[in-house]
Amino acid sequence: MSDSSVKKYSLADISKHNSNEEAWIVIHNNIYNVTEFLNEHPGGEEVLLEQAGKDATEAFEDVGHSTDARELMNKFKVGELIDSERRSDAEKTPQYWGNEANANAEDSSIKQWLIPLALGILATILYRYIFVQQ
């Protein structure tokens, strides 16, 4: 879609589409009609209906959707927010699993379990050493 052919909607327009008969959500300033996807959503239709008619960017990012989910969204896009209501911080870098951009995150998660494991082993060795001496 070129910029001139993209339909623009206000948050007031979107707020009218908040039922299981017509559910629209905003994610990263883009508007999606997720009505057809309600029954297919892996988290259940309630999750989408809770966000229907609103900006769901934060909720969407908090869940950490997969690359496939992000690609699937394109089929439901119906427009964009009007310029005056766009959020400048809305466009986060999508999280792609298993690439170099996540190397630091993976290092951090390794430390989250490696350090407690090392401390547990050390505590076990000290415990055995103390009781073997007695």
Which CATH number goes with the domain that contains 15?
A: 3.10.120.10
**Tens digit of each residue's pLDDT (9 = 90 or more) over 77-122:** 999 999 889 988 644 545 444 444 455 555 666 777 888 889 999 9
* 3 within domain boundaries: no
Containing structural domain, residue 15: 8-85
The confidence score (pLDDT) of residue 4 equals 62
Residues 105, 77: one domain? no
Residues 81, 33: one domain? yes
Residues 28, 65: one domain? yes
**Tens digit of each residue's pLDDT (9 = 90 or more) over 48-81:** 999 999 999 999 988 888 888 889 999 999 999 9
**Rounded Cα distance, 59 and 28, in Å:** 11
Residues 122, 79: one domain? no
Query: Of 60, 53, 61, 34, which is closest to residue 45 (Cα–Cα)?
Result: 34
